[in-house]
């Protein structure tokens, strides 16, 4: 494949998709942006070709095939972000099948996956979680979202395309700085499930940079990279920074994560009827204290954080990337 000058980006109207289009344009790349609904973000930008297309529909195959013409790589960011089984089947799995059916053979593919694919029932607290860690068995992730990402990765692996599996942590940035990974909210109270483990955050601008860099770099067959920030706060530091910068949560209490895990284990017989943070597999996936290095990411694609966590939080709260 020659030099890549145009990218096809699916899910371009989403949180990660919009940032990825912006990053591609900042690097002088042209973009064919696939969105489900009309989006005015790039009005007047002649370097962005906007196509409205529902990837879940079989008719999308012809549209995707046409959109891919002249593109050197595709970044697949379209997926359902929640737990609704019907939406996952359509917007994550059917959409991915239709994309793969439409793409030219050997086209470079960059999939937006997730660190949710790792099996967090196995590591001990404090363990290093990198790209060599075990994945959840197919269909046995902690929640429907993780299972969808596992299935999506399997589809892309089986396609034979040169493939990057980009696995961001908890994506955050302007308009989205708070995460359920941190604890429990009962406004105005926030209960932090405290540990010394890193909160695996991935600022949306850093995710976008990794995706575009991957699209411009030939993978060695299939390559997986975790995308997390260089400066990862603990949960306590995360809450303290929000309180200083935004004045919330107004009341914050801390509970050792082990105490909450003990409660979830005690409730295991009735866990099917309980919220996620009271179900042991979901709880472990969200709060197990781990180390999340991005060594492979930096070695393979380069880059670095734009600023320390607190500064990135301030910019994000101000609506700046």
How many angstroms separate the CA atoms of 318 and 314, rounded? 6
Residue extents of the structural domains in the chain: 6-174+200-229+292-307
| Residue 26, pLDDT score | 97
Give the lowest-confidence range in 73-87, 101-115, 161-175, 192-206: 192-206
Does the domain spanning 6-174+200-229+292-307 belong to CATH 3.40.710.10? no
- The answer to whether the CB of 229 falls within 8 A of the CB of 173 is no
Helix then strand then coil, in percent of the chain rounded to 5, is 40, 20, 40
- Kindly report, residue by residue over 178-220, the tens digit of the pLDDT: 887 777 777 678 888 888 889 999 999 999 999 999 999 999 9
Whether 2 shows a pLDDT value over 60: the answer reads no
Please return the burial class of 227, using the count of CB atoms within 10 Å of its CB with bins 0-12, 13-18 and 19+: buried
Cβ pair 300, 223 in contact under 8 A: yes
pLDDT at position 292 over 50: yes
CB of 83 within 8 A of CB of 144?
Answer: yes
Please name the residues in contact with 247: beta carbons below 8 A apart, sequence gap of 6 or more.
none
Give 243-288 pLDDT, tens digit per residue. Answer: 999 988 888 888 888 888 888 888 888 877 777 777 888 888 888 8
- Enter the pTM of the model: 0.94
């Amino acid at each position: 494949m020659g030099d890549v000058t145009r990218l096809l980006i699916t899910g371009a109207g989403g949180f990660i998709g919009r940032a990825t289009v912006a990053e591609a344009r900042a690097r002088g790349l042209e973009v064919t942006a696939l969105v489900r609904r009309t989006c005015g973000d790039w009005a007047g930008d002649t370097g962005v070709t906007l196509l409205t297309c529902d990837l879940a529909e079989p008719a999308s195959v012809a549209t995707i095939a046409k959109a891919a013409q002249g593109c050197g790589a595709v970044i697949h960011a379209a997926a359902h972000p929640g737990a609704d089984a019907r939406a996952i089947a359509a917007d994550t799995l059917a959409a991915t099948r239709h994309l793969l059916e439409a793409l030219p053979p050997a086209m470079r593919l960059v999939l937006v996956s997730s660190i949710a694919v790792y099996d967090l029932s196995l590591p001990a607290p404090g363990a290093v979680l990198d790209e060599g860690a075990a994945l959840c068995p197919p269909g046995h992730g902690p929640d429907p979202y993780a299972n969808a990402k596992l299935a999506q990765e399997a589809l892309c692996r089986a396609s034979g395309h040169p493939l990057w599996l980009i696995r961001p942590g908890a994506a955050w940035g302007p308009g989205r700085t708070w995460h359920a990974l941190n604890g429990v909210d009962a406004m105005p109270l926030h209960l932090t499930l405290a540990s010394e483990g890193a909160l695996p955050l991935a600022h949306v601008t850093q995710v976008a940079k990794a995706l575009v860099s991957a699209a411009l770099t030939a993978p060695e067959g299939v390559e997986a990279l975790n995308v997390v920030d260089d400066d990862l706060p603990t949960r306590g530091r995360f809450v303290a920074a929000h309180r200083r910068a935004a004045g919330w949560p107004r009341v914050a209490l801390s509970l050792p994560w082990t105490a909450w895990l003990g409660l979830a284990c005690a409730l295991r017989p009735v866990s099917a009827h309980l919220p996620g943070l009271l179900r042991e597999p979901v709880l472990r996936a969200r709060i197990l204290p781990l180390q999340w290095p991005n060594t492979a990411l930096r070695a393979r694609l380069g880059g670095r954080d734009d600023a320390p966590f607190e500064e990135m939080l301030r910019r994000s709260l101000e609506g700046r990337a």
